Amino acid sequence: MTSPANVISPDLIPDALYPTINALCATSIDVAAIIARAGLGQSLAAQVGENSDGDGQKALDVLADDMFEAALRGGDVRWYASEEQEDALLTSEGGKYALAIDPLDGSSNIDVNVSIGTIFSIFDTKEGAEESFLRPASEQICGGYILYGPATCLVVTFGNGTQQYVLDPSKGEFVLVEKAMEVPETSKEFAINASNYRHWTKPVRTYIDDCLAGKDGPRGMDFNMRWVGSLVAETHRILTRGGIFLYPGDARPGYENGRLRMVYECAPIAFIIEQAKGHATDGETPILERQAATLHGRVPLVFGSAQKVQRVADHHDLSE
Ligand code: AHG
Ligand code: MN
Ligand code: MN
Ligand code: MN
């Protein structure tokens, strides 16, 4: 790994992880610059293949993956596992970490100039790749995402609260703006892909039906709905403004466990949210108590304000 100049203040970052976090941040600055020019050159949303999840791969999915892998190679990361690659890669024989990454989250938004992101999760490595990643999510030592929105920002936890840094584009540096983010407890917003309503289980339908019933229903208030289609953007909104996100398992073939991948998406988002005093479950069980069965395995994800997430779990209890 060629060590880039420092692009993030080291104050709250564990010393041993600093080179890895700095490399991720330096790469994200390059990715953000490419995204900012997306409408000007070759389409970043061109379909270029399919990954092992069966997701179509867009040009930017593959480019971002290549860039992060190249930036980490030869550094402190022994195992690099990516949504866009079938198997984990040995990127550094002597590396002490295992890093999982969703290099480009929300790829359906690339061609419409809507927020997208990168999500990552870090464990202390073990000898083999599977044992390094297929373990309880509570063993993560870092979870983070970079949001490429109107502003580019890094939200990260090392298990001591959730911090936010914003990229100052004029300096090419991430500046700490929040030391301890907290998910607001009260909010009227929920996020779910409502087009799947007919496929949902009873507890999920009941939860959403109650929201839709508004102030005359059991919740006694009107709600509002948001769905960006980028997990990073939904997470950022919920960290900022509260609310709840659901991508439940449903009756569609292949969607028994929803759409989101445990290792690349659910585990790091759950770590970030729990460190911000929110809650993240699979509908019933905390995500941090679960572990992936396979590298690309999916898990239902419900997260946000703790009381709202608990209400979803209560609906599951009642249906048993
Ligand atoms: P990715 O682009 O990394 O494959 O992830 C997309 C995910 C997530 O960002 C979003 O919450 C969800 O897919 C959207 O799913 P629908 O297309 O079913 O709305
Ligand atoms: Mn994908
Ligand atoms: Mn994703
Ligand atoms: Mn992705």
The total number of structural domains that make up the chain: 2
**Is residue 118 situated within a structural domain?**
yes
- Could you say which of 84, 189, 250, 282 is catalytic? 84
What CATH number is associated with residue 114? 3.30.540.10
Say if residue 87 is in the same domain as residue 132. Answer: yes
Say if residue 194 is in the same domain as residue 105. Answer: no
H/E stretch holding 300 reads none
Atom of ligand 1 nearest to the CA of 193: 19
Closest ligand to Cα 107:
1
Q: In angstroms, rounded to a whole number, what is the distance separating the alpha carbons of residues 160 and 153?
A: 19
Say if residue 248 is in the same domain as residue 270. Answer: yes
Say if residue 165 is in the same domain as residue 230. Answer: no
Which residue segment(s) compose the domain that 124 sits in?
A: 15-178
- Band of pLDDT at residue 283, cut at 50, 70 and 90: very high
Strands (E), the chain: 47-50, 56-58, 77-82, 89-90, 97-105, 116-124, 142-148, 152-157, 162-168, 173-178, 189-191, 224-225, 244-247, 279-281, 301-304
- Evaluate whether 122 touches 234 at the Cβ level (below 8 Å): no
Q: Which are the contacts of 172, defined by CB distance < 8 A and separation ≥ 6?
A: 7, 29
- Domain end, chosen from 128, 147, 178, is at 178
pLDDT digits (tens, 9 = 90+) for 39-87: 887 789 999 999 988 899 999 999 999 999 999 999 999 999 999 999 9
Say if residue 252 is in the same domain as residue 174. Answer: no
- Could you say which of 12, 30, 53, 55 is catalytic? 55
What CATH number is associated with residue 195? 3.40.190.80
The amino acid at residue 80 is Y
Q: From the CB of 231, is ligand 1 less than 6 Å away?
A: yes
83 is catalytic: yes
Say if residue 194 is in the same domain as residue 174. Answer: no
Nearest Cα residue to atom 14 of ligand 1? 229
Nearest Cα residue to atom 16 of ligand 1? 229
Atom of ligand 1 nearest to the CA of 196: 18
**Is residue 91 situated within a structural domain?**
yes
- Could you say which of 105, 189, 234, 250 is catalytic? 105
**Is residue 2 situated within a structural domain?**
no
Average pLDDT over residues 141-170: 98
**Is residue 253 situated within a structural domain?**
yes
Say if residue 154 is in the same domain as residue 235. Answer: no
Ligand 1 centroid–CA 159 distance in Å is 26
Say if residue 48 is in the same domain as residue 124. Answer: yes
What pLDDT does residue 221 have? 96
- Evaluate whether 118 touches 100 at the Cβ level (below 8 Å): no
* Token couple for 114: 């809507």
Atom of ligand 1 nearest to the CA of 106: 2
What pLDDT does residue 41 have? 79
pTM value > 0.95: yes
Ligand 4 centroid–CA 108 distance in Å is 9
61 is catalytic: yes
What pLDDT does residue 4 have? 86
Say if residue 20 is in the same domain as residue 138. Answer: yes
Is 28 annotated as belonging to a binding site?
Answer: no
pLDDT digits (tens, 9 = 90+) for 97-109: 999 999 999 999 9
Under DSSP, the state recorded for 265 is I
**Is residue 6 situated within a structural domain?**
no
